[in-house]
């Protein structure tokens, strides 16, 4: 237990999570909560009740000012462009293959921490059960009273992953039983044949994956895919600065983090690992020196 790591790594304290584990095929009720929190204000959470929430659907954009794609535009995924253009590492220019997703122009942290905080703020029973259990245990071990707000840190991010993992077995049996009941009552259809008219169609799917909010956006014209953009959890977290210079979550969490030995920056690893990166999905971002994003103290 490293209780001082509650003091580091808060980074971007805007949180995004989408509801998941639907209880009905109309997707109106879910066992995992969703919502948005800005600036760590847990008392002002905006709940996201389902996947058709218009604020959610309309609020997502991706900017490529600092990513190796043509231009510097900020585009909604339905108008998204992905034209790779590698120009080498330029600290103030483009330095990543990852785009910069933003929600209503703000960088957002996604992942178990986001979901735990958003659920906690909404009084979600199962989150209160397990977050409470985690907080009690950590407080006992560290001899220090831990609060939910302290979860906004590198250590909190790791604890939240465990909290979410603890919630799932409670829900697994329930969802298994629901599936069995559904099949027993005749719900055996697993394929819906796609039928597209001639109009242009826009579709989006959301999922609260183990690493955070995942969204796939498609534009269909004449029955064919005209555009497909995936904004995946690690893109939200690993993304570089946007056009206004606002840092992405990894970057923000590293700023001001003490590093004992710059030749062996374990603290950088620990901070980035706390986000559980999936770079296979987000496209690898590598900063060879790290010096411009770390302030050694």
Q: How far apart are the first and last CA of the chain?
A: 22
- Interface with another protein (CB under 8 A), residue from 179, 183, 269, 296: 269
Instruction: Between 32 and 95, name the residue whose CB sits nearer to another protein.
Output: 95
Q: Which stretch binds another protein (CB under 8 A): 131-139, 202-210, 243-251, 257-265?
A: 257-265
DSSP 89-137: --TTS--BSS-EEEETTB--B-SHHHHHHHHHHTT-HHHHHHHHHHHHH
Question: Smallest distance, Å, CB 285 to another protein?
Answer: 11
Secondary structure, 3-state, 198-233: CCCEEEEEEEEECCEEEEEEEEEECCEEEEEEEECH
DSSP helix/strand/coil, 255 = coil
Q: Check if the beta carbon of residue 221 is closer than 8 Å to that of residue 200.
A: yes
- Radius of gyration over alpha carbons of the chain, in Å? 20
| Residue 213 C-beta: closest distance to another protein, Å | 20
Our finding on whether 35 is near another protein (CB under 8 A) is: no
Stretch binding another protein (CB under 8 A), from 37-45, 82-90, 112-120, 174-182:
82-90
> In this complex, which beta carbon is closest to another protein, that of residue 87 or of residue 143?
87
Nearest distance from residue 288's CB to another protein, in Å?
A: 6
**CA dist 221 to 54, 81, 200, 224, 255, Å?**
22, 16, 5, 5, 44
Residues with Cβ within 8 Å of residue 75, at least 6 apart in sequence:
61, 62, 63, 81
Binding to another protein in span 275-294, by CB under 8 A? 280, 284, 286, 288
Reduce the DSSP state of residue 271 to 3 states and report it: helix
Nearest approach, Cβ of residue 265 and another protein (Å): 7
Which of 4, 29, 39, 84 contacts another protein by CB under 8 A? 84
- CB 103 to another protein: min, Å: 27
Should residue 265 be labelled a site residue for another protein when binding is judged by CB under 8 A? yes
Using CB under 8 A as the binding rule, the residues of this chain from 202 to 221 that contact another protein are: none
Provide the CA 121 distance to its chain's centre, in angstroms: 17
Residue 270 Cβ vs another protein, minimum distance, rounded to whole Å? 11
User: Cα–Cα distance between 140 and 132 in angstroms, integer?
Assistant: 12
Count of residues near another protein by CB under 8 A: 11
Nearest CB to another protein, comparing residues 148 and 290: 290
Give the residue, chosen from 54, 86, 199, 297, that forms a contact with another protein under the rule CB under 8 A: 86
Under the criterion CB under 8 A, does residue 225 sit at the interface with another protein? no
Q: Interface with another protein by CB under 8 A: which residues?
A: 84, 86, 89, 263-265, 269, 280, 284, 286, 288
């Amino acid at each position: 237990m490293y209780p001082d790591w509650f003091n580091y790594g808060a980074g971007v304290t805007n949180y995004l999570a989408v509801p998941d584990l639907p209880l009905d095929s109309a997707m109106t009720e879910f066992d995992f909560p969703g919502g948005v929190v800005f600036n760590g204000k847990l008392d002002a959470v905006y709940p996201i009740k389902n996947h058709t929430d218009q604020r959610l659907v309309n609020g997502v954009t991706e900017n490529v000012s600092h990513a190796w794609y043509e231009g510097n535009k900020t585009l909604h995924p339905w108008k998204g462009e992905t034209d790779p253009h590698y120009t080498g590492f330029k600290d103030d220019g483009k330095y990543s293959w990852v785009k910069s997703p933003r929600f209503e122009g703000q960088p957002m942290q996604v992942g178990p921490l986001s979901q735990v905080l958003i659920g906690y703020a909404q009084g979600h029973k199962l989150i209160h059960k397990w977050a409470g259990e985690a907080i009690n245990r950590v407080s006992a071990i560290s001899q220090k009273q831990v609060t939910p707000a302290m979860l906004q840190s590198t250590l909190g991010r790791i604890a939240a992953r465990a909290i979410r993992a603890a919630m799932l077995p409670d829900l697994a049996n329930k969802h298994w039983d629901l599936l069995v009941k559904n099949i027993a009552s005749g719900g055996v259809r697993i394929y819906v044949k796609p039928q597209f008219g001639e109009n242009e169609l826009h579709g989006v799917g959301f999922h609260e994956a183990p690493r955070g909010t995942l969204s796939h956006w498609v534009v269909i014209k004449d029955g064919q895919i005209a555009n497909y953009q995936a904004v995946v959890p690690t893109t939200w977290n690993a993304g570089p600065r946007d056009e206004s210079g606002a840092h992405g979550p990894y970057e923000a969490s590293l700023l001001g983090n003490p590093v004992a030995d710059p030749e062996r920056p374990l603290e950088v690893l620990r901070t980035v690992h706390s986000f559980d990166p999936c770079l296979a999905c987000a496209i690898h971002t590598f900063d060879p020196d790290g010096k411009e994003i770390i302030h050694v103290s």
